[in-house]
Amino acid sequence: MTHEISIVVARRFLAIRHLLAPPRALPAEPESVMAVVDRLGSLQFDPLEVAGRNHDLVLQARIGGYRRELADELLYGRRLLFEAYNKALNLLPTRELPYYRITWDRGALGWAAQLIAEQQPLTDKLLAAIEAEGPKSSADFEREPAIAWHWGPTMAVRAVLEALAITGRLGLARRQGNRRFYDLTERLYPADLLATRVPEREQLLHKLLSRYRGHGLLGATGSSELWAGTDSAVVRTELRAELLDRGEILQVTVEGVRGPRFIIGDELPLLAQAERECAPSAAVDAGPALDFATWSSEGASGCSFLAPLDPLIWDRNFLDPLYGFEYRWEVYTPAAKRRWGYYVLPIMFGDRLVGRVEPRIDRTSKVVRILGMSWEASFDPLDTPGFVSAFAAALNSYQYFAEAAAVIAPLDAAHGPLFRALDGQVKLLGEDPVRPSIGGVRVSSGKAAATS
């Protein structure tokens, strides 16, 4: 049986099941982190911290008063989460470790194992030191000559430590900045969990299911990075059919979107909730190319900044038919070819993507600098009911997450009216020794006033 849903219901369903309706509704406690992970299956890790690490931004959008220590304690203290390769490097529930051993098992037969064999004396030296003295990073050992590695020429110590982690002999004990400290896997995780073996096919089924858990409304195709680690397209087709037979995923069609989509089997109640909530506004909110001036924003009071690798926006090709929105993470795009900026976050209001913001956390000055913003065609942040206060709440929440004392508005004077409207709602700073002009906004003692 295929469920047919409107594009309006699809957007609302995703907002609800992604814990963004409203955003930041979960309390700042470890159980909330686990609730997000349980819903989404995994959180993609990326070490770049210009605006916050990716997984922290995912959590910050869903947990009120979130600070990075909440996830770090679950990773490196209580070890209810662990790092492993799934779609990419991900944070995963430790209880699911047996379902992700396939990465270690295949690593033990691949190029990582070959490197370990080629560097056997160094491997023995590193393992002996870690066994005797505890967690170590590459900086704890003498520098060895650079060798060929999958990222390029790399110091031998670093490459061997990474290879030992890929094969499961070492695990990540902790991070200090971008420095990784490794320990013996058997000292990091319970023996019974490490001893549990799950058939490879069940692991592949679980990994494929994790992609549908992450996004919530994926199709059967899409960019290759969506399906990394789930084997070939032929195998995925067989696995998807088995997940359908088991009822672990259900097929749906979304109006105006080509091809079938799939939801998690036990999320039908969330879909029904979305249908109930959309019934009054479906006729007005008709499609992605919406005129925001006529958009019914009832129930759309929440605003959030989405991480660049947030599961909600994994499927970049789906953003246009669903939201009329285009997004590309441009950190690896040459500066001259960037359209929006280096590290830009989509802005979500209610269940619509309405713009983009480029924040920077300056930990030395303890400020958040907004380098730029852009809005979707026909969306006016000042004329949209409820948006200014919702944006202020999102900005305040982000400022708290960044442990910043104030926010510095963009240089572009076009954003001056919005930031003047935020006067008294957000702690703005106008006297920046690095950037003397702040988007037409001058602030004294936290109050904004228009410059002449």
Report residue 26 as tokens.
């979960």
Query: CA-CA distance, 278 to 298, in Å (whole number)?
Result: 10
The CA distances from residue 353 to 64, 70, 266, 302, 306, in Å, are 20, 28, 26, 12, 10
What's the confidence (pLDDT) of residue 447? Answer: 34
Residue 25's contacts (CB-CB under 8 Å, 6 or more residues apart) are 19, 62, 64
Confidence of residue 300 (pLDDT cuts 50, 70, 90): low
Residue 409 has pLDDT above 50, yes or no: yes
What's the confidence (pLDDT) of residue 293? Answer: 46
Residue 257 has pLDDT above 70, yes or no: yes
Long-range contacts of 123-132 (CB under 8 A, 24+ apart): 123/160, 123/164, 126/157, 126/160, 126/161, 126/164, 127/164, 127/169, 127/170, 127/184, 130/170, 130/182, 130/183, 130/184, 131/184
What's the confidence (pLDDT) of residue 255? Answer: 93
Percent of the chain with pLDDT over 70: 90
What's the confidence (pLDDT) of residue 288? Answer: 63
Name the β-bridge partners of 251: 262
Residue 238 has pLDDT above 80, yes or no: yes
Whole-model pTM: value is 0.91
Range ranked top by mean pLDDT from 2-11, 83-92, 207-216: 207-216
What's the confidence (pLDDT) of residue 352? Answer: 94
Q: What mean pLDDT do residues 51-67 have?
A: 97
What's the confidence (pLDDT) of residue 429? Answer: 80
| Backbone dihedral region for residue 366 (phi beyond 0: left; psi -120 to 50: alpha; all else: beta) | left
Report residue 242 as tokens.
């088995």
Residue 338 has pLDDT above 80, yes or no: yes
Query: CA-CA distance, 71 to 256, in Å (whole number)?
Result: 38
Residue 305's contacts (CB-CB under 8 Å, 6 or more residues apart) are 57, 60, 61, 345, 346, 347, 348, 357, 359, 394, 398
Residue 166 has pLDDT above 70, yes or no: yes
C-alpha 207: how far from chain center? 17
What's the confidence (pLDDT) of residue 89? Answer: 92
Q: What mean pLDDT do residues 178-206 have?
A: 96
Q: What mean pLDDT do residues 53-63 have?
A: 98
Confidence of residue 281 (pLDDT cuts 50, 70, 90): low
Confidence of residue 2 (pLDDT cuts 50, 70, 90): confident
Residue 130 has pLDDT above 80, yes or no: yes
* Average pLDDT over all residues of the chain: 90
Burial code of 266-303, b = ≥16 C-beta within 10 A, e = fewer? ebeebbebbbebbeebeeebbebebebeebebebbbbb
Residue 438 has pLDDT above 90, yes or no: no
Name the β-bridge partners of 407: 368, 428
Query: CA-CA distance, 283 to 267, in Å (whole number)?
Result: 25
Half-sphere exposure of residue 334: CA atoms within 13 angstroms, side-chain side = 2
CB 395 within 8 A of CB 422: yes
Query: CA-CA distance, 413 to 390, in Å (whole number)?
Result: 21
Q: What mean pLDDT do residues 414-420 have?
A: 94
Burial code of 54-63, b = ≥16 C-beta within 10 A, e = fewer? bbbbbbbbbb
